[in-house]
Chain A
């Protein structure tokens, strides 16, 4: 095998098995955007600092600019396109970002939504009320240049309480 050859990869993306053929050096973000046309994953720094390209890899948040497509072989990936429901209705985190005006240009938003989902999922619905410091500590790895974060923090609080309430009602998340 040489560096110019392509390699077959197979992974589950947003619930569907996809098969692709990629050069070894192709970044996961580029594979998602170019080969799968999932352009909701945005590339902001290619260095792992800005967080715009964050996706879920086996349910955990990861920078898709710091992962090769070949390294995603056999894994399960969730992108922003896999977050809302098939009928088009918004996930509580997406809805909270909208209602709290937690986005302006919308470029960093997919990374923030994915990171928030991962954080609230890990934290669990029964973990009690969120403190502002806790939110700021957990989501400080994503950069937004528009909002000044005040409304993002509010959106995370709204989503957390809604997801907790949904859980209490036995609703499906």
Chain B
């Protein structure tokens, strides 16, 4: 079918209820509020065994030998398997990146461990308690090696190789240039520099990783139950590495207790458990505990940005040079350059800058491997807007005016950014202007100055977020990374008239069972209550790319809408034949086809469905029986949404504590499917960003031990640290997506990281203090204040 034919929403006649844009309460809630959800750990199978992992206590060490004898003697321990044994019947994961050497990862390490927490053996036992007893009894003889812990010095002479198949610990070093950067810097009145450093974080879904692998020895096939954001891609990898054909592996992602980008790849523990289920011919469960989750799942955000900005004295930005660093950790679950490249091509953000150059540096170190935490490029908005503020400060201009002067307006669009991305229908300057019109900055500055005289430090941060939402397959092709951005859905009207929808996206809390039902109900003139949405089962749902980034709305809901619209055409065609009226004169209202010119002429969709399935000879000639449509949809190269965040803080200058006094978001995600759900996404994303600025941090000590391994040390934002978040929307439609949907989910994180950090920096600037490193802990704030104090007194 032609997708473009149905890009625009139908004009609803008054009698047709609208579901797109309604805050429909969620269908999935009823099971969750009663504790009746079904998460992976809730599943039990006859004969099920439990796994636990022996892990490295060293950041870097050779495995000289593994002695499992004592563990195997323990009653209840069924098996102990090592990386060497797994390598005999599994293949490694190979991560490819264009222009760089591939990185391999065994099922479990064979010769060497690369970070503290690296798994080296799996104990399978009758229950988890006994499995952990077994872990205690496995003895590993280690040859401890010096660890590589500092990304800036990872490639220094004498540093051991973390991955001995690589030529260097510096995996990627690459520069991209757009425009004439040399000339821009030659013309500049001055060059302003700024630095931004974000800390190592981790995802911490409240449900940790989990899997039950069930080998069916009759059919000789594997069913993998596990929290997964991308069920189909996981199946492809799992089958190939186990040597099974893909139709002998079924992945079922049941209810998932949060993903945040963690539950994407095939992790080694889940893979080992799957392999062991095959070998032992028993179901095996493994549920990651919190210690493992914090030390050995994925980390993220260990990034640094340094910029040089060529400016004219009037605040015009001529060009930017950026040096970007990422500490990628010990293994590659993703192409190492992937995320820091996003920072690179997004760094110009909301501003018109023609001449740009960025260099990325990705180091492999003896730390937990990096993954994609919700808004993996979260440093970017802070760096962009922070850079503009530094320009304003150094030129003695109002930073907000400098930003405004260089900001992209609707009138400038379509606008192509220097790295070649097309911005359309983004209300960047409009949102900034609206925020400044509603918040009296002048009054705030007066209050801020008065407060500073009394020793109170107030700060204001405003962030202009450009959020990349939907990556089309053309983007993947251009990036050189494997993958596609298309999505698939099947919509069926069953013989009784109820509707089933299957799609390749997987829900991890986004409320897809409701919002997909809304778009399908709208297309088919039904009601969300009549639409059931089935996701995450590779035997039921069509092959899709899953849930990551902010692709769910435009790609996942877009394709379901397009499939439902095609099915609508078929329903109306059959109705036209049966009612002897032109299809154009018919509408579907409340599951009944009615003639717009004569409402007494009607036919229930259930009757059409009955005929389509049970009386197909009554269908118009040439119409195939049944009422089901399968569609795929490949979104544009890249779609964006945008937002303006405003945050006001007060710093307790005596304790270094930061309190957020006000937080508001002006979001433009295009057409909203369910505003209530979008608000929830904003709230959650902002909380994550607040956690990054004020609380969360993975710490490694000098030996490479993770010393933030419990939730008493790794501090998540709680109810008393996250304030009430106010959200308003504008809905500027994207001209190139179904219904003008843009999507959103990561932007709120970018916006919060930026606006909270900028607000703290603004407050510190009242006394001349500077801080450019996250998290902005009391200790760092006090140190910055003391430094400013002694500087002022010297």
In their complex, do chains A and B touch, with some C-beta pair under 8 Å? yes
- In the complex, what residues of A have CB within 8 A of residue B683's CB? 147-151
Given contacts A44-B206, A94-B34, A107-B258, contact A152 B719 (CB under 8 A): yes
- In the complex, what residues of B have CB within 8 A of residue A149's CB? 683, 687, 718-719, 722
> Cα distance A137–B255 when bound, in Å?
30
> Cα distance A33–B210 when bound, in Å?
16
Q: Are A42 and B206 in contact, CB atoms less than 8 angstroms apart?
A: yes
Given contacts A39-B42, A149-B687, contact A140 B718 (CB under 8 A): yes
- In the complex, what residues of B have CB within 8 A of residue A151's CB? 679-680, 683
- In the complex, what residues of A have CB within 8 A of residue B509's CB? 104-106, 146
Q: Which of B26, B34, B41 contacts A43 (CB 8 A)?
A: B41
A-B pairs with lowest CB-CB distance, top 10:
A40-B35, A107-B257, A106-B32, A105-B509, A148-B683, A80-B35, A148-B687, A104-B509, A39-B42, A49-B711
- In the complex, what residues of B have CB within 8 A of residue A94's CB? 33-34
Given contacts A90-B33, A106-B32, A150-B725, contact A140 B719 (CB under 8 A): yes
Q: Are A140 and B25 in contact, CB atoms less than 8 angstroms apart?
A: no
Q: Are B30 and A98 in contact, CB atoms less than 8 angstroms apart?
A: yes
Q: Which of A81, A103, A108 contacts B29 (CB 8 A)?
A: A103
- In the complex, what residues of B have CB within 8 A of residue A148's CB? 680, 682-688, 722, 725
22 A–B pairs (Cβ distance < 8 Å), ordered by A: A33-B42, A42-B39, A42-B207, A79-B35, A81-B36, A83-B35, A84-B34, A90-B34, A98-B29, A98-B33, A99-B25, A101-B26, A106-B28, A106-B37, A110-B35, A142-B718, A143-B206, A144-B206, A145-B260, A147-B687, A148-B687, A149-B683
Residues from 138 to 168 in A contacting B, C-beta threshold 8 Å? 139-153
CB B678 to nearest CB in A, in angstroms, measures 10
Interface flags, A64-108, vs B, CB<8A=1, else 0: 000000000000000111011000001000110111010111111
Total residues of chain B contacting the partner, CB 8 A: 58
> Cα distance A110–B718 when bound, in Å?
17
- In the complex, what residues of A have CB within 8 A of residue B255's CB? 105-106
Residues from 694 to 752 in B contacting A, C-beta threshold 8 Å? 710-712, 716, 718-720, 722, 724-725
Q: Are A146 and B712 in contact, CB atoms less than 8 angstroms apart?
A: no
Task: Tell yes or no: B102 within 8 A of A by CB.
Answer: no
Task: Tell yes or no: A46 within 8 A of B by CB.
Answer: yes
Given contacts A105-B205, A140-B719, contact A45 B711 (CB under 8 A): yes
CB A86 to nearest CB in B, in angstroms, measures 12
CB B228 to nearest CB in A, in angstroms, measures 14
- In the complex, what residues of B have CB within 8 A of residue A136's CB? 719-720
Task: Tell yes or no: B508 within 8 A of A by CB.
Answer: yes
Task: Tell yes or no: A8 within 8 A of B by CB.
Answer: no
Q: Are B684 and A109 in contact, CB atoms less than 8 angstroms apart?
A: no
Q: A105-B255, A105-B256 are in contact. List 9 more A-B contacts (CB 8 A).
A: A39-B38, A40-B36, A94-B33, A94-B34, A106-B32, A110-B35, A142-B719, A147-B684, A148-B725
Q: Are B205 and A145 in contact, CB atoms less than 8 angstroms apart?
A: yes
> Cα distance A4–B455 when bound, in Å?
62
Q: Are B41 and A80 in contact, CB atoms less than 8 angstroms apart?
A: no
Residues from 658 to 693 in B contacting A, C-beta threshold 8 Å? 676-677, 679-680, 682-688
CB A14 to nearest CB in B, in angstroms, measures 11
Nearest A residue (CB) for B681? A104
CB B378 to nearest CB in A, in angstroms, measures 15
Q: Are B207 and A98 in contact, CB atoms less than 8 angstroms apart?
A: no
CB B112 to nearest CB in A, in angstroms, measures 30
Nearest B residue (CB) for A98? B29
> Cα distance A147–B748 when bound, in Å?
12
Q: Are B258 and A103 in contact, CB atoms less than 8 angstroms apart?
A: no
Interface flags, B202-233, vs A, CB<8A=1, else 0: 00111110000000000000000000000000
CB B681 to nearest CB in A, in angstroms, measures 8
Q: Most chain-B Cβ atoms within 10 A of its Cβ — which of A108, A139, A141, A145?
A: A145
Total A-B residue contacts, Cβ distance less than 8 Å: 177
CB B694 to nearest CB in A, in angstroms, measures 14
- In the complex, what residues of A have CB within 8 A of residue B482's CB? none
Q: Most chain-A Cβ atoms within 10 A of its Cβ — which of B256, B257, B686, B720?
A: B257
Q: Are A143 and B711 in contact, CB atoms less than 8 angstroms apart?
A: yes
> Cα distance A148–B258 when bound, in Å?
13
Interface flags, A113-157, vs B, CB<8A=1, else 0: 100000000000000000010011101111111111111110000
Q: Are A44 and B35 in contact, CB atoms less than 8 angstroms apart?
A: no
Interface flags, B397-425, vs A, CB<8A=1, else 0: 00000000000000000000000000000
Q: Are A143 and B290 in contact, CB atoms less than 8 angstroms apart?
A: no
Given contacts A47-B290, A106-B37, contact A145 B680 (CB under 8 A): no
- In the complex, what residues of A have CB within 8 A of residue B26's CB? 98, 101
> Cα distance A23–B35 when bound, in Å?
26
Task: Tell yes or no: A7 within 8 A of B by CB.
Answer: no
Interface flags, A35-69, vs B, CB<8A=1, else 0: 00111111111110110100000000000000000
Q: Are A132 and B676 in contact, CB atoms less than 8 angstroms apart?
A: no
Q: Are B34 and A47 in contact, CB atoms less than 8 angstroms apart?
A: no
Nearest A residue (CB) for B129? A25
Q: Which of A4, A44, A103 contacts B207 (CB 8 A)?
A: A44
Task: Tell yes or no: B289 within 8 A of A by CB.
Answer: yes
Nearest A residue (CB) for B712? A49
Q: Are A104 and B712 in contact, CB atoms less than 8 angstroms apart?
A: no
Given contacts A45-B290, A113-B33, A151-B683, contact A137 B711 (CB under 8 A): no
> Cα distance A79–B36 when bound, in Å?
12
- In the complex, what residues of A have CB within 8 A of residue B36's CB? 40, 81
CB B242 to nearest CB in A, in angstroms, measures 29
Q: Which of A40, A49, A141 contacts B34 (CB 8 A)?
A: A40
